[in-house]
Structure formats: C-alpha cells, structure tokens
Structure 1
Amino acid sequence: MTKEQVFQKMIEYFRGDPKRIQHFTKVHAYAALIGKSEGLPARQQFILEVAALMHDIGIKPAEEKYGNCNGKLQEQEGPRPAKEMLIALGADNDVIERVIYLIAHHHTYDHVDGKDYQILIESDFLVNGYEDALSAHAVKSVYDKLFRTECGRKICCDMFAI
C-alpha cells in the first residue's frame, strides 16, 4: 500500500464533496511537513501521513447515522470504514492498528501518546483554525494548550501572526 493509493481512495470516498477533500489534503500537507521537520522515523511518518489523509473518514457514517458529524462522532464512526479501506489496500496490521487509533482519537487532546498523534492534532487545528475563521484569541488559547512541536508552533505563529 502507498500513500498515493490512500489519497486516491479518499478522494473517491468523498466524491462530490470538495470541501472535505480540500480539508484532508491540507491536513496531510502540514502533517508531512511537521513530521519530516521533527525527524520522525520513516514508518511513523508513513503512518502519520496515512492517518492525516484518513482522519475525517468518520464524517460520512456519522452524518448518515446521526445527521451530525461532531468530533466525537467522527472518532466513533471512523475506525470501521478506515479499517475496511486499509485492508482492501493491503496495509500491514501495525499500520492499520495505529491509523485506526489515531482516527479514533484525533479530537481527543489529553493522553497524547506519540509524536504522530501530536502532529496530527496540530495539523488538523492549523486547517480548522483557518476554515472556521477562529478569532486571534481562540487561536492563541489553542496554541498555548495544544501545540508542542517546534515546527507546528512556528507554522501556527506565522500563519495566524501570534
């Protein structure tokens, strides 16, 4: 399985929803940059990038089941379709398990258990902060509470001029 295969499958998955496709594309770009800047080992970088591409896969089943796709519902509903897609693509078990874990926790900001997890939540916030037009005060608050990587902190400061 390659990242490019995952990318193409996620575009197909969100067919007709350019907003969602643009979102995961941007999260992936930041995750790739931050992970490489932070020196992640190759396997962890691969897992991070796959998780970044797939992190919001739970939106569709959450909307179908509940008419809502809040963060907790995304975490709840994302693992099943992610696992199915990863198995179909021939992913290794360790990749499947970690990607599913990251998807199931990407809106949970306590007990962050790895750099891949930290980078995923920072990358998602960089995109969400812009897309949701958060106030400077809100961005600064999240920056202080959430950002831990040197690269993620710099990007956030530069992007939002904090």
Structure 2
Amino acid sequence: MQCPGQDTRYWKPGAVFEAKCPHCGSEIEFFKDEVSRRCKKCGERMINPKLDFGCASYCKYAEQCLGVLPPELLAGREDLFKDRVAIAVKRYLGKDFRRVGHATRVARYAEQIGKQERGNLAVILSAAYLHSVGAKEAWEKYQSDEPRLQEIEAPAAAREILTNLGANPKLIDEVCDIISYVDAPGANENQNFKIYYDAKMLADLEESAKEHPLSPEELEGLLANRFLTPSGRELASQELAKHCRKPQASQS
C-alpha cells in the first residue's frame, strides 16, 4: 500500500513547484514528495524546502519515506517523537503536577547531558519522561509510591504508551529496560542508561536538597560516587551547588 501523501491521485495544485537554488539562484523544480534535487546549473543538491516531516513521528509508512533523509533531518524526527512522548505522559499523569514537573526536570537534565555525551536522545528522553508513570500504577495497586514499586510498574505502562505512539520496537525495549532497573548500576551499563541515571539522580538530589541543604563535604562525596558520566557530574556540580549550606563564619 502506498502512503496517501505520496499518491499523485490525491495531489492538489502546488504539488509541483519551483525553488531557488541557495548556491547559484537558479530555479529548481520539485515534486512535493521529493526529499532533494540536484541543481542542473551548479550541481549542488538542495533539500526540498516545503517537505513536512511532522507526520514522520507517527506514520507507519515513515521508514519507506525517510530512508534517504540526511542525518540532520532524521535527528529532527527524534525531536518530534520525544515531544509526543512528553504530551502523552502529561495526559497520563493528569493533575499530578508534582510528578509532571519531576519528569520534565529529569528530561531537561537528560537532554543537556545527552547532547554532551552523544547519547540517543529519543531513547533517553522517552525514559526520562516515562519513568514517572510507574508512580501512578504503584499507588493504584499498592497505595504506595515506594521507588522499587515504581520501577516494577513503570515498564508495562510505558510500553503501552510507546506502542500507541507507534514507536520502534527496539526503542520500546530499550526504554522499558532502562526504567525497570531496580539495582545499583554496574560498570557495564550502556551510555543511554548512564545519561538517564545521572539526570534522574540529579533531579532527585536537587529536590531533596531544597528541603535539606547539602554541606560542601556532602556535595563533594555525591559528585565523586553517585554520577556515571563526566557531563552529569559537571551539571550536578553546577545545580547542586545552589542548594549547599554556606560555611559558618568562625568565631574569634
């Protein structure tokens, strides 16, 4: 079956148009579904300026359409997907604004660390948002949001959400594996897990430090022992330093 957007029977006026080559200014004729064309005058390849990749975050035909996309546009597809995950999680948690805020904070830190550590942002940010869905399930089943129960309950809810969004099965499996981790991390964890772990650890410690400020010595110990990536450690140093107790002035 052909994607309706590619079937010329459904095309409207404007489906064939001209655009100026950004290199030499010559006119290049595009069909609306073409990813790129080469300029006949200067030979440079130009990306179709009117091609809309928004549907790529959910369309089941996306793989056949996007197989020839350049890396920068494929990265944009991942950004679209993580935005849809964020919306789905906010709908799932409803009026639980505390957990929505926590998930958003973890995702924000995960994105900052992930870009520095070159992780897969689609996986990392999906895990960052979805780890909080376990709290709702744990409370409904056990009237408890103890962290271990959250980690037990989160994967099934996350799998359902990601499946409904049309996520790649490999992405679903990795995200569910990451958020189901109930033990202390080992030395052989993959990079995506380490980035997620550092982001969640930072968000948890920040929330705790707002109520119980850290001493400089406590912060030093946390940075040395609790973070798995250099970028996570650096970001934690910056953020947690805001919640440290100031040393008391010595009395003469």
Correspondences of 1:78-89 after superposition (within 5 Å): 78-89=154-165
| Structure 2 spans left out of the alignment, 5+ residues | 1-56, 58-80, 245-252
User: How many pairs align?
Assistant: 158
User: 1:13 maps to what in 2?
Assistant: 92
Whole-Å Cα distance in 1 between the matches of residues 157 and 123 of structure 2?
17
* Cα 1:24–1:110 shift into 2, 3 Å: same
CA distance in 2, matches of 1:18, 1:8: 13
Please name the residue that 1:95 is paired with.
171
* Correspondence for 1:160: 240
For the residue of structure 2 that corresponds to 1:58, the secondary structure is: helix
- What are the Cα deviations for residues 21-78 of structure 1, in whole angstroms up to 9, with x where unaligned? 11111100110110101122xxx22111111111121001101111111111111001
Distance 2:121 2:183 in 1: 20
Q: Percent identity?
A: 29
> Aligned AA for 1:26?
R
> TM-score when scaled to structure 1?
0.89
Q: Going by fraction, where is strand more abundant, 1 or 2?
A: 2
Q: Which residue of 1 aligns with 2:224?
A: 144
**1:32-43 paired onto structure 2 within 5 Å:** 32-40=111-119
CA displacement at 1:143 relative to structure 2: 2.4
Question: Gaps spanning 5+ residues in structure 1: where?
Answer: none
CA RMSD of aligned residues (A): 1.7
Residue number among 208, 220, 231 corresponding to 1:132 in the alignment: 208
Distance 1:18 1:71 in 2: 18
Is 2:80 the counterpart of 1:4?
Answer: no
Looking at structure 2, the residues matched to 74 and 142 of structure 1 have their Cα atoms a distance apart, in angstroms, of 24
Q: Give the CA deviation at 1:110.
A: 2.3
More displaced 10-residue stretch of structure 1: 27-36 or 136-145: 136-145
Question: Is 1:64 matched with 2:144?
Answer: no
Which one of the candidate residues 171, 184, 192 is aligned to 1:109?
A: 184
SS in structure 2 opposite 1:26? helix
Q: Offset of 1:4 from its aligned partner?
A: 1.1
Letter of the 1:154 partner, please give it. E
Q: Which has the higher contact order (CA 8 A, sep 6+)?
A: 1
Normalized per residue, the structure richer in helix is: 1
Greater Rg over alpha carbons, structure: 2
Q: Report deviation, 1:144.
A: 2.0
1:125 positional shift = 1.5
- Residue 52 of structure 2 corresponds to none
Supply the AA of the counterpart residue of 1:110.
Answer: P
Tell me the TM-score normalised to structure 2 length: 0.59
Q: Which runs of 4+ in 1 moved over 4 A?
A: none
Corresponding position of 2:53? none
Counterpart code for 2:113: I
Distance in structure 2 (CA, Å) of the matches to 1:83 and 1:148: 26
